[in-house]
Amino acid sequence: MKIVLATHNPHKLKELLAILPDKCTSGKIEYVGLGDFKKFQLPPETGMTLEDNAVLKATAAAKALGLPALADDTGLEVDALSGAPGVHTARYGGENADADDNNRKLLSALDGKLLPDRTATFRTVACLATPQGHTYLFEGSVSGHIGFGYRGENGFGYDPVFIVDECQKTMAELTAAQKNKISHRARAFEKVADFLQTFKN
């Protein structure tokens, strides 16, 4: 059985391939990225929630490609910013922002706040959609704080500024193996992995 991993982000694709199992009750699973489907483009993330965007991307891929598709949306929810950037996490620094733009805007928005006032949650919602129109949602989250600058050389996105409460290290200070055990995305896709053990398309 083939399942499409509906992301154009190579870092995310690598993480997902490390987390997801390659077998289910109906046999072996072959995961394919969107690089195998050059003509297909994901729709814009126009949803009001992470759930909306995950479903939007997964269902578009499943319908267009005729295969089950997995997609997710992740939000960084900072308490002092009333839950922002939230659903706008990827574009927080502007429509064409890169990770550095996003991180600099976030650190600036929290300027002057002490660590206890910099609490945040990383939340991922994953959606598995079938060509027949069925959707299944899975969620994972991790609690932490936003640091005062960049720490660590690994990961991507907000990883250098997000300090994980349970280990007091930023995501970027963790190895890939460590991150794939405790991250929000890992927790969401571990639930996907459990579901796939019994999934029949």
**Residues identified as active-site:** 73
Collapsed DSSP state (helix, strand, coil) of residue 126: strand
Identify the sign of the CA torsion 148, 156, 137, 57: positive
CB count within 10 Å of CB 138 equals 21
User: Strand pairing partners for 74?
Assistant: 124
User: Strand pairing partners for 86?
Assistant: 76
